[in-house]
Amino acid sequence: MRRLAGQVAIVTGASRGIGRAIALELASWGVKVVVNYQSSAAKAAEVVAAINASQGQGLAIQADVTKPDDVKRLVQTTLDTWGQLHILVNNAGITRDNLFQRMKDADWDAVIEADLTSAFLCSQAVLPHMQSMRYGRIVNVASLAGLAGNVGQTNYAAAKMGLIGLTKALAREVTAAGIVVNAVAPGYVETEMIEAIPHWLRTWALDVIPLKRFGTAEEIAPAVAFLASPAASYIIGHVLTIDGGWVMP
């Protein structure tokens, strides 16, 4: 399975949830993985330990991906350590749910910055290196909330659908340089982020999802690894939904 041996990836927001599963999956494909985190140092260290325990190579790097200087340092440290960078997974994200008319400006802005602007900044920071290699894979972790909307998540839906817009626009710009940009759009996935949703919404969601269960982070990660591999060379600006059949867009 070490099909991507020798490659290097940055996974943002990789200390927990879907990002953690993506980091472990890529490592199992032989990728050297930078486990980026903002504040969960101990959890990031656990992910790195898990990678190293299975003969992989992981490196935890703290960086707030909404801050341009942090992003530059994240990419530079990766290149200083491993000399190359093939894969960027823009996974970092937060939620600040509320009904639109009760939502504070700060909650709107925080989600747009963390879920959308961060992907712009990280993509921009890795492009010069990927362009010089004439190879790169960028995978953005969007959400079904962007494609289908969700009560209480106008900010999150805007950020995630905005991320799909960014995916397609960037995909067009960089294909000629051998860089492939795609997105995945997970539906409901069992993570800490999802634990916060109200009971009625959980019941409703379980009812409308044909598989009658939420996904696991491990069910998202293989699709990300596939889009991050050379096999995805003719898939451009695609949004792969992984939602148990919920929306079938």
Partner 1 sequence: MDFSDQVTIVTGGTGSLGREIVTGLIERGSRVLFCYRQREEAAQELVDLLGSDDRLVAVKADVRDQEAMNKLVEEALRRWERLDTLITAHSAVSNAPVVNMTLEQWNEVLDVMLRGVTRVCRAALRPMQKARYGRIVNVVGYQPLAGALMQANYAAALGGVIGFSKALAREVAAWGITINCVAPGLISRPQMAAFDPSYIPWATNIVPLKRLGTPAEIVPAVLMLAERESGYMSGQTITVDGGWRMV
Q: Contact residues for partner 1 (CB under 8 A)?
A: 68, 99-101, 108, 112, 116-117, 120-121, 123-124, 127-128, 131, 145-174, 237
Closest CA to 26 of 2, 43, 44: 2
> CB of residue 17 vs partner 1: minimum separation in angstroms?
20
Which of 37, 135, 156, 188 is the catalytic position?
156
Give the C-alpha separation, 198 to 125, whole Å.
37
The sheet carrying 32-37 orders its strands as 58-62, 32-37, 8-11, 87-90, 136-141, 179-186, 239-242
Residue 37 bears catalytic tag:
no
User: What would the DSSP string read from start to end of 164-218?
Assistant: HHHHHHHHHHHGGGTEEEEEEEE-SB-SHHHHTS-HHHHHHHHHHSTTSS-B-HH
Separation of CA 170 from chain center: 16
Q: Toward partner 1, which CB reaches closer, 47 or 166? A: 166
> CB of residue 232 vs partner 1: minimum separation in angstroms?
16
Q: Toward partner 1, which CB reaches closer, 154 or 191? A: 154
Q: Toward partner 1, which CB reaches closer, 209 or 225? A: 209
> CB of residue 182 vs partner 1: minimum separation in angstroms?
12
Task: Output the six-digit token pair for 44.
Answer: 């990031």
Task: Output the six-digit token pair for 149.
Answer: 């909307």
Q: Toward partner 1, which CB reaches closer, 81 or 98? A: 98
> CB of residue 23 vs partner 1: minimum separation in angstroms?
25
Active-site positions read 156
